Chain A
Amino acid sequence: AQSVTQLDSQVPVFEEAPVELRCNYSSSVSVYLFWYVQYPNQGLQLLLKYLSGSTLVKGINGFEAEFNKSQTSFHLRKPSVHISDTAEYFCAVSDRHSGGSNYKLTFGKGTLLTVNP
């Protein structure tokens, strides 16, 4: 069984400030890690994913995340946010050893990032 914890339900920041959205997971098996973003009235869009290799992964819109196996974390960062980054951000994991392409996702509760002018 897997679980994902996003410690901050809301993160307000000012435009051009750096931001970090925290994500911790627990799993008895190896996992893939994902960050999804949901803009108002839209579906979930993949920001970035960690499958293997370099622990620092870069995604769309200037976001990056670092996988830390010892701390079971996958925090999302952006050095300078824009108003347009205001959205809900979801961390998710899936079992590496699922059959075929059945990558069932386990999500965290989400973090609402609000960027203020």
Chain B
Amino acid sequence: EPEVTQTPSHQVTQMGQEVILRCVPISNHLYFYWYRQILGQKVEFLVSFYNNEISEKSEIFDDQFSVERPDGSNFTLKIRSTKLEDSAMYFCASTPPGSTEAFFGQGTRLTVV
């Protein structure tokens, strides 16, 4: 069964460093999303992406964040200069055409030290 895959599963980075979280959405899906979950808090929407551009973004998604679909399969989230408060589980998701169901990856746990 097709699934959304995310790499790495866990990343540790030093404060101020740039990180790139990678996702491979399901191949025929059209909308792609990033969500994050800070430990003990709710899952929060960051950004949605369609047709090679940002469709919607939350107030969390400030200038230090960017997304890209560099080729036909990968969907990346870049955090330019990580802060301690960026430590969270980051989930990638995608939805197929005409569907309301989002398919989620297993998440990348980002730890900023």
Question: Please, how many residues of chain B have a CB less than 8 angstroms from a CB on the other chain?
Answer: 30
Q: Which residues of B contact A41 (CB under 8 A)?
A: 106
Contact with A along B97-113 (1 / 0, CB 8 A): 11111111111000000
CA distance A92 to B97 in the complex (A): 20
Give residues in B with beta carbon < 8 Å to A.
Answer: 4, 6, 30-31, 33, 35, 41-45, 48, 50, 55-56, 91, 93, 95-107
Chain A residues with a Cβ closer than 8 Å to the other chain, count: 26
- Residue contact A104 to B105, C-beta cutoff 8 Å: no
Judge whether B42 and A107 touch: CB under 8 Å: yes
B-chain residues with CB within 8 Å of residue A101 when the two chains form the complex: 30-31, 95-100
3 smallest CB-CB distances across A and B, nearest first, come from A44-B104, A43-B106, A107-B43
B95: chain A residues within 8 A (beta carbon): 101, 103
